[in-house]
Amino acid sequence: MKSEHIPKATIGRLTVYVEVLERLKREGSEVVSSESLAEACSVNPSQIRKDLAYFGEFGVRGVGYYVAKLISAIKQSLGVDRKWNCALVGVGNLGRALLRHRDFQTKGFDIKVAFDCDPYKIGETIEGLEVICTRKTKEKIQELNLEIGIITTPPERAQRAANYLVEAGIKGLICFAPGRIEVPEHIPLEYVDFFDHLFAVAFNITLGQLGK
Amino acid sequence: MKSEHIPKATIGRLTVYVEVLERLKREGSEVVSSESLAEACSVNPSQIRKDLAYFGEFGVRGVGYYVAKLISAIKQSLGVDRKWNCALVGVGNLGRALLRHRDFQTKGFDIKVAFDCDPYKIGETIEGLEVICTRKTKEKIQELNLEIGIITTPPERAQRAANYLVEAGIKGLICFAPGRIEVPEHIPLEYVDFFDHLFAVAFNITLGQLGK
DNA sequence: CATCGCTTGTTAAAAATTTCACAAAAGAAC
DNA sequence: GTTCTTTTGTGAAATTTTTAACAAGCGATG
């Protein structure tokens, strides 16, 4: 098949596949069928085959998928087979936790700068990274060739952070602050919101209790 | 309309509506139309009306929705118009950050216990909460009537944490560890994964660059 | 080297979700 | 109190996404 429009949900599932495949690899599996991978990911086997088909043919008929090969293929398809230089804005609790979170490095997202506008925080060092004044956004983004902005400010400062980053030429944003922000059409933007998921759990519990 | 099956995506959007409505309320709006709310949430106005219709009729024709009323209505519909007692398992960087995160309180999710299996952490106090040994899971869950479990352990310990919580009678789970876990059918489970979203941003940046 | 079993890639069908379009209803204007 | 404007709630249409079904292809077996 290859290309055309790719459902957003597909992207989400591909990252799950990678996660699960990496576990399988650690556990010694060399080959996996769409059926067993589907089982491990709690999805339909056709779904997996279709998701992969958007990007190419990665399997061997009668055999399945070579785990290591498939991991590479998916990562390459998603564009995460390389390093991405990131900037974090907003060094609060969450920002700090993310800076300390090793997986960013591991997964290829290198946080190269941490910005904050609070004079008390500027100059502080976290995980070997000096907190820098937000005024220097443009300078630093361009100097270090940063591509992805991670917004961990309080909600009322999220829009301003986004503006600075976009103006400085950032290519994409991920926003942990609640509420929506505005960015130009061509800048990919994703929101991360735990409460989304907490609400969903609460809702489903409530639903289950009513149903019974 | 009312009831029947509700799309998962609807739940996600409803939480966005609440977020945006609360901002509008703070800014002094008393009434909002589906059109302007849609604008603020970057969705289609019909979508909003349909999402709301699953739960009842909350608007006034020719007028719109009363902001404060709509917030209550949505919260009630989702089952978040009350307190939910939560247990957190895994006091690492992320766990600590969540414990310090004020919004849990604010939004009605009361983290009443923090569990960890590391003897060095047990007894430590974070935000007025003593870290308790995982062995006491069952006892505490039942004693404090905890309903939602928040899993912030490393991935290899997530399944065990889930097992303990489920066995202790937890009603729903939210898992921040990467990888999938298994729980009984009737236990609502949601995963929170930043990398999902980071991958999506990376993918969309890559896509945009190819397209051009 | 033909046959058989298995698993992919893909086309077609089904299901779910979103968008459109408009009748119904509320309030304002006259 | 009738008409006009507005905006909801909803049934029907369009679109998207998921699932099922199966032909095509790979490797093993004899």
Which nucleotides of chain C are near protein (any atom < 7 Å from a CB)?
A: 5-11, 16-21, 24-27
Distance CA A16, CA A75 (A): 12
Q: Under the phi-then-psi rule, with left for phi > 0, alpha for psi from -120 to 50, and beta for the rest, what region is B58?
A: alpha
Quick count: other Cβ atoms within 10 Å of Cβ A55? 18
Q: Is the pLDDT of residue A4 over 80?
A: no
Q: Cβ distance A21 to B160 under 8 Å? A: no
CA A125 to chain centre: 25
The CB-side HSE value for A77 (13 A sphere, CA atoms) comes to: 25
Nearest CA in chain B to A93: B97
> Quick check: A196 and B103 in contact, CB under 8 A?
no
B142-166 confidence digits (pLDDT tens): 999 999 999 999 999 999 999 999 9
Task: Note whether A174 contacts B192, CB cutoff 8 Å.
Answer: no
Number of alpha carbons in the 13 Å side-chain half-sphere of residue A24: 25
Q: How far is CA B54 from CA B72, B102, B188, in A?
A: 15, 31, 20
Instruction: Determine whether the interchain pair A186/B208 forms a contact, defined as Cβ–Cβ distance below 8 Å.
Output: yes
Mutate to test the interface with B, among A8, A174, A198 (most CBs of B within 10 A): A198
Least CB–CB distance from A199: residue in B42, B78, B192: B78
> pTM of the full predicted structure?
0.92
Nearest CA in chain B to A200: B11
Which nucleotides in chain D lie less than 7 Å from some protein C-beta? 5-11, 16-21, 24-27
Say what the pLDDT of residue B212 is: 44
pLDDT-flagged residues of chain B (< 70): 1-3, 210-212
Tell me the residue ranges of DSSP E strands in chain A: 31-32, 65-66, 84-89, 109-116, 125-126, 129-133, 148-151, 172-175, 189-191
* Mean pLDDT of the region A75-86: 96
A201–B208 CB contact, under 8 Å: no
Which of A3-12, A26-35, A55-64 bottoms out in mean pLDDT, i.e. has the lowest? A3-12
Picking from A125, A132, A127, A160, the residue whose alpha carbon sits closest to that of residue A146 is A132
How far is Cα A88 from Cα B110, in angstroms, rounded to an integer? 28
Please tell me whether residue A84 adopts helix, strand or coil conformation.
strand
Most B-contacting residue of A81, A204, A207 (CB-CB within 10 A), to test interface: A204
